[in-house]
Amino acid sequence: MSTLEVRDLSKSFAIGGALRRQHVHAVEDVSFSLQPGRITALVGESGSGKSTVARLIARLYDPSSGSVLFDGGDIARVRRRKEVLRYRSQVQLIFQDPFGSLNPVKTVRHHIERPLRIHRIVPSSQIDERVHVLLEGVGLVPPEEVAAKYPHELSGGQRQRVAIARALAVEPKVVLADEPTSMLDVSIRIGILNLMLKLKDEHDIAFLYVTHDLASARYIADDILVMYAGQIVERGPVEQVLAEPLHPYTRLLLAAVHGERIAERGSGASAAVDPGAGCRFVTRCPLAIPVCSDVTPELVEARPQQAARCHVTAPAN
Amino acid sequence: MSAVATKTLLEVRGLEVEYGRVRAVDGIDLSIDTGEILGLAGESGCGKSTVANAIMQILRPPARIAGGNIVFQGEDLVGKSTEELRRFRWRNVSMVFQSAMNALNPVMRVGDQFVDMMQAHERVSKHRAIVRAGELLELVGMDKGRVRAYPHELSGGMRQRVIIAMALALSPELIILDEPTTALDVVVQREILQEVESLKRDFGFAVLFITHDLSLLLEFADRIAIMYAGEIVETARASTLAAEPLHPYAQGLLQSFPPLTGPRVKLTGISGSPPDPREQPSGCRFHPRCPHCVPGNAALYLRQTSERPRLREVAPDHWVACHLVEA
Amino acid sequence: MAQLDPTALDLPLAAPKRSIRVGRIRVPGWLALLLRNSKSRTGLLIVACVVLVAIIAPLISVAHPNDFNLLAARQAPSWHHLFGTTDQGSDVFSQVVVGARRSLLLGALAGALATLVAAVLGITAAYVGGIVDEVVNLLTNVFLTIPAIPLLVVASGYLRARGMWTMIAVIALVLWAFEARILRAQALTLKNRDFILAAKASGEPTWRIVFGELMPNMISRIAAAFVLVFYISLLVDSGLEFLGLGDMSATSWGVTIYWAQVNSTVLQGEWWPFMFPSLALGLTVLGLVLVLAGIDEVSNPRLRTEHKRGRIVALLFGKATA
């Protein structure tokens, strides 16, 4: 039973003036589901649309089309404040930059206390106690001291822990972590990843882990989604996908981190402006055949549980 | 080239840099041979970028060199006049900054920026400089027609290539790369580093490569120095360091990168976070985070918490500063 | 003017809220920062002196400022009349110190009113966006394009009641749009910061985000806007009074200068009824300008770092001589 399901989610941003209006297809036909107690990694390069997916699910943007199904309803269409509030208490977002996601003029206590009050998680008299429990839960001790501090008095890792505690305050079912470790020092990244693993098990949370780092995806995730230019080009169990990738883009990413020589000249994975038909990866693809430039490939399950968007390695029957 | 391959190009001895009262770099020794890639790894705030700025002599007040020598080709740079240093910079040592790709002037064509830079150092006609700029762009894998491009017409990776081409322009003996690819995607990052490596083979310059990403260094550097809290804690050949790191911090750093193959094991990383430079721990600066520093062994614990370990050569070309290794 | 740069962060002035100990007295963090900057320290000192004089004015003024004594008219400054007397024999010193009350109060209140309107409208418009933003923007632009001085002249000329409150309302009306534009621009850069998005994602209502999360981060910019409008309204008010468009029965610097001008005292060699109120006005404005410059320097770290970064690049490319 999935906690949250994303169906054919698309988002395009208009650019240019009224006369030459164009659309950047940041996210296109993205579908996947998140399961309780499982971590799904969403991997891609900058501009691939991976953060936009997380923000769409968090309702920070409205999707252009498609739906986000949660608790039986399509939350992309929900407008009533009460229902939005209920959704927000169950789906939490952790931001990439722990230096930007905390208000510099507010104490740690404020950041954790506000969600508790807004969603009336505990009675007012127990708020202090709950704040301390949450801070201890993410390894910030002594909680009384930490709660009184301002963000600039904490290190990057500690700030990210505060952000995680804030997300957990509302006892969410889904946590969307948008590159939570990429701004942190190498030696403390593992600590944050381990914390996410622990929380997943303790609270049975469905995690979406957005990252550009394949190795960390393999370290904590159960499933993986690979994004390129706004589309999911491959999905499957993380071990299986990384051991035997189907899509040439996944192979390229793996080659890059394995330190193999890279033959092609990268042109980035940015979303396309008003793309025509054809595979987005065709200009960089070593396997391209004529059909690739004309027909957009579908996501086809070529192996059990593993699907890819490629005419060559995962052809439609 | 091969005859001078082992000659020491740059030697840093006992370098100390202070920001007001804070000592950001506390007595480090480094040497770079001609044509070598030396990696300098460490976390943010450990002083690695300060070392680079000290070598370039571009520390901004209140930062200043409080002690030590920086000897480049037999000449001490500390105490040189501004004009001598001006000529030394870029001609002998050039530098690529972390955010260098944002350092290009947005309203000037790429070629004109080359012209400005070259004319500041040598008498060269504008036409000649533009032609040279085109050649340099081709060297870093770009089309030479790009001299006519404005920076915003180039992607981040391209801009970083332009900066690297500029760093090569006056054929310096040493190029300092300070987190040159941190802001770039993995694939682009890899391509650029491969480019630098092959250019190095062709031109024979040495590279000081500063990054927090030890896994990159293991691949691209000849030797690696690991910095922690203003000190160098271990120096070794890249292969040696990968196989048997001796300092617990180096071991922890290597333990912080999850592998892409093999069994999925639980990693521990390093507990705690790097110290505040204003309040460095006593004794070994790593001791509050060190898994081997426990009060159980009283004599060792006393040394670890009160005595600063010295960098010693424990095997040929393998230096470590740790009480455990000495004992 | 750097306070017009909307992208700078407010961190240093906003974040260290903790009070700092200076000797035995605990000083709020922001004041300590301003006192550490030499410009704002001088400015605060000047403004504090003027305010002090205004507060104790009844104690130090020799006579009622509008008392006239034709026997003592047109006297040059002396020990008896420190700043001399007017052609009516009124004591100029008394007029200046008592006038300080009205001038300062008027400037401060007009500044506060304009800032309040600007902050609420500008920041809300920036955050809410859409139609609200469009409307506020239109309003702002309308007020910006109305030429301020002629409007003031016309408004104060037509209005029957030319009391202080009328003047405050008129000045605030003309100046708020100017400020709203600055604050809206800065709020726009802040509203997409992650911490604002995080507050939104956690379900904070809009008014709490605007007043509880955004506004505290813009305190230094709001303070700067207030100081700016403060001294502009001081100048505008005195200017109107100088032209005879103010409340001519009141005691203020502008009124004293007006009468000096009407009676062409300077032409007769009597510089004092003109000089002293003008000096008081100039000194106050100077103090406020210095405070503003100090706020800028303290709150905008880029004013310092950019300067240095420029130097590094220059050094690298061999252009610096220093």
Cβ contacts of residue C135 below 8 Å, gap of 6+? C125
Q: pTM (2 decimals)?
A: 0.78
- Contact at CB, B257 and A215, closer than 8 angstroms: yes
Q: How many CB pairs under 8 A join A and C?
A: 70
Whether C14 contacts chain A with CB within 8 A: yes
How many angstroms separate the CA atoms of C34 and A109, rounded?
28
Q: Which whole number is the average pLDDT over A15-43?
A: 85
Contacting residues of C for A58, CB less than 8 Å apart: 201
Whether A252 contacts chain B with CB within 8 A: yes
Return the number of other C-beta atoms located less than 10 Å from residue B305's C-beta: 16
How many angstroms separate the CA atoms of A139 and A199, rounded?
12
How many angstroms separate the CA atoms of C262 and C244, rounded?
9
Contacting residues of A for B255, CB less than 8 Å apart: 190
For testing contact with chain C, the best of B56, B57, B58 (most C CBs within 10 A): B58
Contacting residues of A for C197, CB less than 8 Å apart: 55, 60, 93, 95, 101
Longest dimension (CA), chain B: 72
The torsion angles phi and psi of A103, rounded to 5 degrees, stand at -70, 120
Q: Is B78 in a helix, a strand, or coil?
A: coil
Q: Which whole number is the average pLDDT over A144-155?
A: 87
**Residues pairing with A220 in the sheet:** none
CB-nearest to B103 from C313, C318, C320 is C313
Return the number of other C-beta atoms located less than 10 Å from residue A278's C-beta: 16
**pLDDT score for B237:** 94
State how far Cα A257 lies from the chain centre.
21
Contacting residues of C for B60, CB less than 8 Å apart: 308, 311-312
With CA atoms as reference, the chain A residue closest to C216 would be: A105
Q: Which two tokens stand for residue A255?
A: 């080659």
Burial class (CB in 10 A: 0-12, 13-18, 19+), B3: exposed
For testing contact with chain B, the best of A187, A194, A212, A281 (most B CBs within 10 A): A187
**pLDDT score for C309:** 43
Contacting residues of C for B117, CB less than 8 Å apart: 317-318
**pLDDT score for A75:** 83
* Interval B245-273: pLDDT, tens: 999 999 998 888 888 888 888 888 888 77
- Contact at CB, A187 and B43, closer than 8 angstroms: yes
Whether C165 contacts chain A with CB within 8 A: no
- Contact at CB, C17 and A150, closer than 8 angstroms: yes
* Interval A55-88: pLDDT, tens: 999 888 888 899 999 887 888 777 787 888 888 8
Asked if the model's pLDDT at residue A208 lies above 90, the reply is yes
- Contact at CB, C217 and A104, closer than 8 angstroms: yes
For testing contact with chain A, the best of C127, C193, C195 (most A CBs within 10 A): C195
**pLDDT score for A19:** 67
Give B158-214 as a DSSP string: HHHHHHHHHHHTT--SEEEEESTTTTS-HHHHHHHHHHHHHHHHHH--EEEEEES-H
What part of B 53-72 touches C (C-beta under 8 Å)? 56, 58, 60
Contacting residues of A for C189, CB less than 8 Å apart: none
Question: In the block, which residue shows the tokens 């059909």?
Answer: A291
Whether B103 contacts chain C with CB within 8 A: yes
With CA atoms as reference, the chain B residue closest to C319 would be: B120
With CA atoms as reference, the chain C residue closest to A148 would be: C18
**pLDDT score for C306:** 40
- All residue ranges of chain B with pLDDT < 70 are 1-6, 100-101, 183, 326-327
CA distances from C46 to B119, C56, C222, C284 (A): 50, 16, 21, 7
- Contact at CB, B89 and C318, closer than 8 angstroms: yes
- Contact at CB, A186 and B266, closer than 8 angstroms: no
CA distance C23 to chain B (A): 22
Residue A139: what residue type? Answer: G
Asked if the model's pLDDT at residue A269 lies above 90, the reply is no
CB-nearest to C318 from B56, B95, B121 is B121
Q: Which of C269, C141, C128 is nearest to C205 (CA)?
A: C128
**pLDDT score for C322:** 30
How many angstroms separate the CA atoms of C50 and C285, rounded?
11
For testing contact with chain B, the best of C305, C312, C313 (most B CBs within 10 A): C312
Whether B120 contacts chain C with CB within 8 A: yes
- Contact at CB, A115 and C203, closer than 8 angstroms: yes
CA distance B4 to chain A (A): 29
| Ranges A17-21, A225-229, C47-51, C90-94: which has the least confidence | A17-21
Cβ contacts of residue B63 below 8 Å, gap of 6+? B17, B18, B19, B24, B50, B53
**pLDDT score for C174:** 83
- All residue ranges of chain C with pLDDT < 50 are 1-17, 302, 304-322
CA distance C190 to chain A (A): 10
Q: How confident is the model at residue A16 (pLDDT cuts 50, 70, 90)?
A: low
Asked if the model's pLDDT at residue A232 lies above 50, the reply is yes
Chains that touch B (3 or more CB pairs under 8 A): A, C
**pLDDT score for A31:** 94
Asked if the model's pLDDT at residue A258 lies above 80, the reply is no
Whether C55 contacts chain A with CB within 8 A: no
- Contact at CB, A254 and B260, closer than 8 angstroms: yes
Cβ contacts of residue B212 below 8 Å, gap of 6+? A185, A186, B41, B42, B43, B44, B179, B182
Q: How confident is the model at residue A262 (pLDDT cuts 50, 70, 90)?
A: low
SS3 for chain C, per residue? Answer: CHHHCCCCCCHHHHCCCCCEEECCEEECHHHHHHHHCHHHHHHHHHHHHHHHHHHCHHHHCCCCCCCCCHHHCCCCCCCCCCCCECCCCCEHHHHHHHHHHHHHHHHHHHHHHHHHHHHHHHHHHHHHCHHHHHHHHHHHHHHHHCCHHHHHHHHHHHCCCCCHHHHHHHHHHHHHHHHHHHHHHHHHHHHCCHHHHHHHHCCCCHHHHHHHHHHHHHHHHHHHHHHHHHHHHHHHHHHHHHCCCCCCCCCCHHHHHHHHHHCCCHHHCCCHHHHHHHHHHHHHHHHHHHHHHHHHHHHCHHHHHHHHHHHHHHHHCCCCCC
- Contact at CB, C311 and B121, closer than 8 angstroms: no
**pLDDT score for C317:** 44
Asked if the model's pLDDT at residue A260 lies above 50, the reply is yes
Chains that touch A (3 or more CB pairs under 8 A): B, C
Neighbour-count burial for A214-230, b at 16+ CB within 10 Å, e otherwise: bebbbbbbbbbbbbbbb
With CA atoms as reference, the chain B residue closest to A218 would be: B260
CB-nearest to C202 from A55, A104, A114 is A114
- Contact at CB, B187 and A262, closer than 8 angstroms: yes
- Contact at CB, C317 and B86, closer than 8 angstroms: no
Q: How confident is the model at residue A21 (pLDDT cuts 50, 70, 90)?
A: confident
For testing contact with chain A, the best of B212, B260, B264, B276 (most A CBs within 10 A): B260
**pLDDT score for B199:** 87
Burial class (CB in 10 A: 0-12, 13-18, 19+), C189: middle
Cβ contacts of residue C283 below 8 Å, gap of 6+? C46, C50
**pLDDT score for C25:** 64
**pLDDT score for A24:** 80
Burial class (CB in 10 A: 0-12, 13-18, 19+), C246: buried
CA distance B269 to chain C (A): 28
With CA atoms as reference, the chain C residue closest to A178 would be: C194
CA distance C172 to chain A (A): 29
**pLDDT score for C65:** 65
With CA atoms as reference, the chain A residue closest to B141 would be: A265
Q: How many CB pairs under 8 A join A and B?
A: 97
CB-nearest to A95 from C11, C198, C213 is C198
Q: Which two tokens stand for residue B314?
A: 């424990």
CA distances from C176 to A32, A194, C4, C122 (A): 51, 52, 15, 10
Q: Which of C22, C48, C46, C49 is nearest to C33 (CA)?
A: C22
